[in-house]
Amino acid sequence: MQTNISLLPGKTLLWLFLAFSCVFALNASGHPYSADGITVIMTSKSIASGKAMALERDFGYQIQDHIHPKSALGADGEYYSKYSPLNSFLMLPLVWIGLNLHGIMPEGTSPDMQIFFMAGFLNPIITAATVVCVALLCAGLGISRRSSIITAAIFGFCTMALPYSKTSFTEPMAALCICASLSGAILYRKTESKTALLLAMAGAALLPLARLSSIVAVVPVLLYLTTRKDFWKAAVPAGCAVAAGLLIYGLLNYMRFGSFLETGYGSEAVKFDSPFLIAVYGYIFSSDKSIFAYSPPLLLAIPGLVIGFRKKLSREMLCIAGIFLISIIVYGRWYGWEGGHAWGPRFMLTVIPVLMAAAGLFIENAARKPFAKIVLYLLVLLGLTVQFAATSVKFNPNYENISVKYDIEDAYSEGRLFSPGAPRFLPFKKQFRVTLAHYSYTFRHIREYLGHDDYTLDELKDSKLVENAPDMWPFLVWISSGVKIRIMVMIIVFVLAAGVVLSVRALCKSVIYSEKTQPAD
């Protein structure tokens, strides 16, 4: 089968990246969501301040003396983050800007808040790059330019990728690495492009530095590359790339903790004692936790895999299924399989891009089948609704992920895990109620939001304006700043919105041109 990579020229990919960079930048929150994200950012701050990777001592001790420690004591007596370091290095330019930025927060606000504000724009960029990789992966599977772009857009708007683009978690970067590695491998196998091989190698090498536990996802990719007769041309370089990433990670471990194998997780690193059936139920079937409940369009990956097998894409489909299954096996056995205090199955975020590419095969076929179109539209609408609620209002104060985990574990211990029962959808019900309440408050107090008062920090704490505003940085800065900063906010929002419009226009032209020049089936 001839790949459709020629239908996705560089300019189209750049316009796609620009469009979603602007969308995700507009949607960024301007604040961290978790202690995990704060730890990653504070590591970057230490590097930017010339303190290597050692955390500020008071902060390091505070997060180490915790039920789930975020840092560990290093060989030199300093505290270090236990999280993979790639994001901390990537956000250095943003953190440096935050260190030198003034005036966007009310007087009296901690200087770190400006660093958190700027660091929050890293994952929007990473997620926009993942959108591009999804389109590339679709092209490698022989999907047309129109359907590749539509599939990538559904990934960006209708899956967990949207709310997680606002956070400082490391999963979005791991998802990008996995998708880049697989798309590069598939494109190389079909075109023997050196650029594609470099993409596969880059994704594989950076994956352990992005999120060490996700390294298992590269195993199916390496096995896929060995299916070529001259496998040594691709599988060996990709394997060496993985080894190089692991070596760098080991050296960083040695510098921090005095051992190549010590990551900072301590005993947590070997606590793979959770019954596997719990995660199978939680990740796949639970209405409160399933990846399909939180990202409804992924249901299309199931018929998409079947279509792929029929199109003689068995190796590619087995690789995608393998990435999904091996991730469930590894994360599902870990004691914290639920992903902590987060929205939905956080660890499964890493496999959403490759599953979405499989769904792209269904999406392309749906153009010729009315019933399939209806199914597609319903799942897209449902996905948009779920992500709108999760991204409009901070999910962590309103959704106790841990309680859902305990409910599932109790059902397992009582032997009723797979017993028939009415779906609860508890997280969604609460999130939707809170979202409606917040938007109702915003509209009822629109005059206060549009007012010209320059609020002090204490006044903001006493009011409910920030708490009930949509969870997007323009609202946060608008409420917290004076007239000059508000004018800057309006200019930035206008520029980003214009970037979206221009990019969408260019993408539409690209699709129309490809359909005029591509011979009919």
What value does the mean pLDDT take over residues 444-461? 71
Give the pLDDT score at 318: 97
CA distance 72 to 147: 47
Asked whether residue 41 falls in the same domain as residue 180, the answer is no
Report the C-alpha gap between 348 and 33 in whole angstroms. Answer: 18
Query: Residue 430: which pLDDT band, with cuts at 50, 70 and 90?
Result: confident
Asked whether residue 387 is assigned to any structural domain, the reply reads yes
The reply to whether 110 and 163 lie within a common domain is no
Looking at the fold, whether 264 and 314 belong to one and the same domain comes out as: yes
Radius of gyration of the chain (CA): 23
Same domain? For 177 and 309 the reply is: yes
| Residue 287 backbone zone (phi > 0: left; psi -120 to 50: alpha; other: beta) | alpha
Residue 91 lies in a domain: yes
pLDDT (tens digit per residue) in 216-236: 999 999 999 998 777 788 899
Is 58:78 a contact under the CB 8 Å cutoff?
Answer: no
Taking only the tens place, the pLDDT of each residue in 251-264 is 999 999 999 999 98
pLDDT in tens, 30-75: 888 888 899 999 999 999 998 889 999 888 878 876 667 888 889 9
314 and 207 in a single domain? The answer is yes
Q: Is residue 479 part of a domain?
A: no
Q: Which residues share a beta bridge with 71?
A: 81
Q: Work out the average pLDDT over 172-197.
A: 94
Select from 67, 92, 119 the last residue of a domain: 119
Residue 486 in domain: no
How many structural domains are present in the chain? 2
| Percentage, residues of the chain above pLDDT 70 | 92
High-pLDDT (> 90) share of the chain, %? 57
| Same domain (yes/no): 228, 333 | yes
DSSP 116-146: HHHHTTHHHHHHHHHHHHHHHHHHHTT--HH
What single-letter amino acid sits at 457? Answer: L
What does the pLDDT read at residue 187? 93
Do residues 75 and 220 share a domain?
no
Q: Is residue 249 part of a domain?
A: yes
* Residue 81 within a domain: yes
Question: What pLDDT, in 10s, does the model give residues 115-153?
Answer: 999 999 999 999 999 999 999 999 999 999 999 999 999
pLDDT above 90 (res 102): no
Query: First-to-last CA distance in the chain?
Result: 14
* Same structural domain, 296 and 177: yes
Which residue range(s) make up the domain with 80?
35-119
User: In terms of domains, do 174 and 264 share one?
Assistant: yes
Choosing from 452, 476, 499, the residue where a domain stops is 452
Q: Please provide the average confidence, as pLDDT, over all residues in the chain.
A: 88
- pLDDT value at 100 more than 70: yes
CA distances from 520 to 145, 370, 397 (A): 14, 20, 52
- Asked if residue 240 and residue 101 are part of one domain, the reply reads no
Q: What pTM, to 2 d.p., does this model score? A: 0.93
Q: Answer yes or no: is 492 within a domain.
A: no
Lookup: tokens for 166: 């606002």
> Which of 400, 431, 452 is where one domain is finished?
452
